[in-house]
A and B are shown apart, each in its own frame.
Chain A
Amino acid sequence: MSRSESVFFLLGANHTSAPMALRELLYISEEPLAALLPQIKERYNFHELVALSTCNRFELLGIAPPTQNLNALLYAAFFELHHHHGDMRSKVSDEDVQKSLYLHTEADAVRHLYRVASSLDSLVLGETQITGQFKDAIALATRIGTIGPTLRRLGQDALATAKKVRTQTAIGKKTVSISHAALELASKIFGDLSDHSFLLIGAGEMSRVAAKYITNYKPKNIFIANRTIDRARSLVNELNIGEAFGLEELPGLLTSADIVISSTAAPGLILDATTVKRAQSARRGRPQILLDIAMPRDIDPACGKLDDVYLFDIDDLQQVAAANYEERRKAAEEAEQLIQRGVDQFKSWQRTWTVKPALAAFRNYLDELAGRELSKTLSKEHFRDLAPKQRESLDALVTAIVSKIAADAARHVTNPSAGFDAEQLAESLTALFSDEVELRKDPA
């Protein structure tokens, strides 16, 4: 790629282009990034430079100077950043890394960035974390002074578009995580979950995540039962809610709990149909939902055949999550239209911003020319006797003509569909009219 003008670029790798092991190598935390980015910007003469570094992506976005070999420049900058940061070269060759990188320029880069900020390019479509990470990246670049007006504006517009995508489409309305899908299903059976008691069997990571979701519903009770009661107690302490029990107390707990979520690492079944049936009899027909999110399963599948017991395992919940994902995917199609609109608006702003100084020079030239010609005309013999009001009218007429010419020119020049190269046009206008103004001012 050879370019004669500066170019907006985005170079990086994400969960679709690079495996986890490579993404781990590419990840750079905030502080080293704060030290390295200004050096790279300086060394490669980038006008602006921002890095987005998360567990799922590493992307450099910036404005590169005019160069005959843009790709080589960008890859060199990318690798230098990573070689300075860590010993990536000993683990993987630059050639291999390069195969996992994507490079977008101009409108494609802008579109990619808008999709990233709006979570359309995320591993979990519609998740909100990336928007925060994007904000952090812009904040870091502002702090270390590697961002300029163009990328700052681009960042603001990308975040505004992300907000529109979140509020005007259904992209974030349906959950796609298993724990959350389990609770969504529970609310389908129980409606308002705050009136109900939860029993969590197991005190591992899955239980912890589920418990955090549950606390949002402000339930009546949360019972946490675990083989080792100490782990259950520590989870209760961490959440600051609920009661801890040993597994031997499950039969009693089952009569009180409306929603049971089991996620132990036990190799065999924790709950059999007989225990659940006995509890059900004591519950006097009140429905009970059993959510088995363990692998291998904790709850006997025969429990699902009992009246008023609704058993769902991880496959069923994945079905809910997948259905929700499908809804998000449909919403993403709507979001793409919002993003296209955002990209167009940014391009229009960028074009205006690029040619603004040139248009100002053109306007100055016109004002100078009109003022000079008017003075020349008014100094002639047959205009000397004009009344002040007539002079003012003539002046207003000339000013109006100048304004009209300048406004028409600005409209045509900033119109993206007019097909002008904004940067070249700006250069030409500046060269033509700035010199002209200077020349006329000082003919000597």
Chain B
Amino acid sequence: MTPEHISSNVALLGYAFAALLYLVGVGKTRRTIGTGNVALAVFTAATLAASYTVISQLQSEQPTMLSGLLLAVAISWLAILGHVKFKLKLIGAFVAPLATLIVLMQFFVTPGHPIATDGTGSSLLLTLHVTMAILGQAFAILACAVSVFYLWQQNLLKKKLLSQLPQNLPAIDRIDKLLRLCLWTGYVFITLGLLSGAIYTQLYAPPSSWMLSAKVVWATVVWLWYLATLLAQNIFNRPSKRIAQMCLAGFLLMALSYFGMGFFLTGGP
């Protein structure tokens, strides 16, 4: 068993255990915040193990072959940032199970064939495309998690169930601001991912066969959906509740695109 195998197993077990700990702490009061700290520690350890695996394997594998692990690592680091900087202590409850699922799928599903690259330029562009696309997806996942917390807290406030307000979530105004930040940042990365993918196609791959493949169509639909969400928020002044609901729908669209088409990279970058 190689060190990468050990670290990927540690990552999987760590994510699963952290998910369990986080779920124990959801909606609980300050007594379970201690559990939340342990969960964060376990989650961080799992993320470090996953990061080590990715860094080790990137030396011999294309980023496209590690897209699952890369996504898990990206959302995990963003979640840790959200926990530490924005006091979003329950973010792990959403991200840890998702990271477990992604790493698990990476374990059980054999990835497709690597994409043939044509020199350094092609390889760099491919790496850029994968990085942008994965960061875009990571922010979209984070926006979805933040939306869940927004809707949960808003529902409690509207129903005036003040005693049930979770102690381990920041104020709703702060969550709202974080949601806007995730949405904008995610949209920028998704756009850059699409553009770099389109340029790669124009330069290094024949466009005729897969420009209109299901993957490209779905990626464009996701991009359009997030564009609509931003327009709803900034041009049509839709309330934050609607924006949060649109983020949830966007995540579902993206999950369909990612798990349905993108995970095995059968249709190109």
B174 partner residues in chain A, CB cutoff 8 A: 191
The interface bits of chain B over 236-260 (1 if a CB of A lies within 8 angstroms of the residue's CB, else 0) are: 0111111100000000000000000
**Pairwise interchain contact A191-B171, C-beta atoms closer than 8 A:** yes
Contacts A285-B237, A285-B238 known; 4 new A-B pairs at CB < 8 A = A191-B174, A312-B160, A320-B162, A323-B163
Pick from B170, B176, B237: contact of A281, CB under 8 Å: B237
- State the CA gap A435–B237 with chains docked (Å): 97
**Cβ–Cβ contact B173 & A287, under 8 A:** yes
| Residue in contact with B162 in the complex, picked from A190, A284, A307, A323, CB distance below 8 Å | A323
B positions within 8 Å CB-CB of A: 157-158, 160, 162-163, 165, 170-174, 176, 233-234, 237-243
Query: A425 contacts the other chain (Cβ, under 8 Å)?
Result: no
Q: Chain A residues in contact with chain B, CB under 8 A?
A: 185, 187-191, 281, 284-287, 304, 307-308, 310, 312, 316, 319-320, 323
Which B residues touch A320, using CB under 8 A? Answer: 162
Say yes or no: A307 contacts B237, CB within 8 Å: no
- Shortest Cβ distance from residue B85 to the other chain A in the assembled complex, whole angstroms: 13
CB pair A316–B162 under 8 Å, yes or no, is: yes
List the B residue with the shortest CB-CB distance to A307.
B239
Partner of A304, one of B158, B233, B234: B158
Q: Which of A191, A304, A312 has the most CB of B within 10 A?
A: A191
A308 contacts B157, C-beta separation under 8 Å:
no
* A-B interface, 3 closest residue pairs, ranked by CB to CB distance from nearest: A307-B239, A191-B171, A190-B173
- Do B162 and A319 have beta carbons less than 8 Å apart? yes
When C-beta atoms are compared, the residue in chain B nearest to A317 turns out to be B162
Q: Are A190 and B171 in contact (CB under 8 A)?
A: yes
Q: Give the number of A-B contacts (CB < 8 Å).
A: 52
Given A190-B171, A191-B173, A191-B174, A285:B239 Cβ within 8 A: yes
Complex CA distance for A188 and B162, rounded to whole angstroms: 9
Residue contacts A-B, CB under 8 angstroms, 29 given: A187-B171, A188-B157, A188-B172, A189-B157, A189-B172, A190-B171, A191-B170, A191-B171, A191-B173, A284-B234, A284-B237, A285-B237, A285-B238, A285-B240, A285-B243, A286-B173, A286-B176, A287-B176, A304-B158, A307-B239, A307-B240, A307-B242, A310-B157, A312-B160, A316-B160, A316-B162, A319-B160, A319-B162, A323-B163
**Chain B contact residues: helix, strand, loop or mixed:** helix
Q: Are B241 and A308 in contact (CB under 8 A)?
A: yes
Taking the closest CB of chain A, its distance from the CB of B173, in whole angstroms, is: 5
B182 to chain A, nearest CB (A): 16
List chain A residues, Cβ under 8 A from B173.
189-191, 286-287
Residues of B within 8 A of A187 (CB): 171
Chain B residues with CB under 8 Å of A286's CB are 173, 176
Residues from chain A with a CB closer than 8 A to the CB of B162 are 185, 188, 316, 319-320, 323
Least distance between B242 CB and chain A CB atoms (Å): 8
B237: min CB distance to chain A, Å:
5
- Cα distance A319–B157 in the bound complex, in angstroms: 13
On whether the beta carbons of A188 and B237 are closer than 8 Å, the reply is no
The chain B residue with its CB closest to the CB of A284 is: B237
Closest to B174 in A: A191
CA distance A310 to B158 in the complex (A): 7
A308 touches B171 (CB 8 A): no
Residues of A within 8 A of B241 (CB): 307-308
Contacts of A304 in B (CB 8 A): 158
Most buried by A among B163, B171, B237: B171
CB neighbours (8 Å) of A312 from chain B are: 160
Could you say which residues of chain B place their CB within 8 Å of the CB of A307? Answer: 239-242
Known A189-B172, A191-B174: A287·B240 in contact at CB below 8 Å: yes
* Distance in angstroms between the alpha carbons of A189 and B238 in the assembled complex: 19
A304 to B174, CA, bound (A): 20
A128 to B197, CA, bound (A): 66
Which residues of A are found within 8 Å of B242, using beta-carbon distances?
307
Rounded to whole Å, the gap between the CB of B169 and the closest CB of chain A is 10
Q: Determine how close the nearest CB of chain B comes to the CB of A328; give it in whole angstroms.
A: 15
Q: Note all chain A residues with C-beta closer than 8 A to B165.
A: 188
Give Cα distance in the complex from A281 to B239, angstroms. Answer: 9
In the assembled complex, the Cα of A310 lies from the Cα of B160 at a distance in Å of 9
Q: How far is the CA of A348 from the CA of B123 in the complex (A)?
A: 83
Per the bound structure, the CA–CA distance linking A110 and B267 in Å amounts to 84
Nearest-neighbor residue (CB-CB) of B170 within chain A: A191
